[in-house]
Amino acid sequence: MYDIKETYRAHSIEEALALLEGHPGAVLVNGGTDVMIRMKEGKLTDAVLISIMDVPEIIGISLRENGDIAIGAGTCFQDIYHNEVIRGAVPALAHAANQVGSPQIRHVATIGGNLCNGAVSADSVPILLAMNAELELAGAQGTRRVALTQFHTGPGKTVLQKGRELLTTIVIPKEEYAGRYGSYIKFGQRNAMEIATLGAAVCLKLQANKTRLEDIRIAFSVAGPTPLRCAKTEAALKGMALTGDMVKALRQGVIQEVQPRDSWRASKQLRLQLVKELGERALRQAAEEAGGTIHD
């Protein structure tokens, strides 16, 4: 059932990169909650696995000297959910972490695996997209930094050079979370052990008098071939007063920017409806978090 040829265990980033170089075609594995499923389904055979679950440099959450939040790619969702830095600065990410699978899954599934798997339904992605998160990728030539908005290239595809690079850190720059408030809403057919039918995230900043939007980012999962941002709607909403017109502009704008499809989980029509409803709810939640009141 699990067609494994060889397994290796790295204890540092350097060792993981050396193992990758020495074993072309090898697959990195952390929690294994995606990799094991691929093997069980026969999509990964004769597997050479390199475990990175014992690489301490990529585990844990810290505040850098400049105030940026650094989340190690090997941090599991349970630890993200309980982390004080995340709960204080980006509570919507703590909430998103708690939406993944079940308690058993959240204890082993990592945020790095969630991103590198490239799934359009990944629960950690919409709020990180809305927060303008950045990714640090380590390779033989050194480390490069990629904006999450540039990471996904197609269904299950990312700019990560598989077999040559390791995602080490997810960075939320200070200017992207300070004074901003976020919200993530997942729609599934049941409350647990459920891949998102659609997910919506909003991150916004209000003007000082809290009656107008200074800035807003809107992101969706399962609303196109990759997780996506609605840049035109974001631009249109900037500076708008917190009124029913703003909500209407969001509802009308976002459906022009998404491209959902029919699947066995939901029809395109249902997803379009969810884009409007969840988008509005995420906007209302984030505005409330920010201390604003929407006058309908």
Ligand X SMILES: Cc1cc2nc3c(=O)[nH]c(=O)nc-3n(C[C@H](O)[C@H](O)[C@H](O)COP(=O)(O)OP(=O)(O)OC[C@H]3O[C@@H](n4cnc5c(N)ncnc54)[C@H](O)[C@@H]3O)c2cc1C
Phi-psi group of 12: left, alpha or beta (phi > 0 → left; psi -120 to 50 → alpha; rest → beta): beta
Closest distance of CB 52 from ligand X, Å:
6
| Minimal CB distance residue for ligand X | 113
**Contact flags string 195-234 toward ligand X, x per CB under 6 A:** x---------------------------------------
H-run or E-run covering 228: strand 228-229
Closest distance of CB 276 from ligand X, Å:
23
H-run or E-run covering 280: helix 268-289
Q: Are 258 and 198 in contact (CB under 8 A)?
A: no
235 exposure class (CB count in 10 Å sphere: 0-12, 13-18, 19+): exposed
Give yes or no for residue 113 binding ligand X (CB under 6 A): yes
Interactions with ligand X, residue window 114-173 (CB under 6 A): 114, 116-117, 122-123, 160, 166-167
Closest distance of CB 21 from ligand X, Å:
14
Give yes or no for residue 110 binding ligand X (CB under 6 A): yes
Q: Are 156 and 247 in contact (CB under 8 A)?
A: no
Among 48, 105, 270, 272, binds ligand X (CB under 6 A): 105
Q: Are 204 and 215 in contact (CB under 8 A)?
A: yes
Give yes or no for residue 282 binding ligand X (CB under 6 A): no
β-strands 4-9, 47-51: how paired? parallel
Which residues of this chain interact with ligand X, rule CB under 6 A?
A: 27-35, 37, 52, 73, 100-101, 105, 109-110, 112-114, 116-117, 122-123, 160, 166-167, 193-195
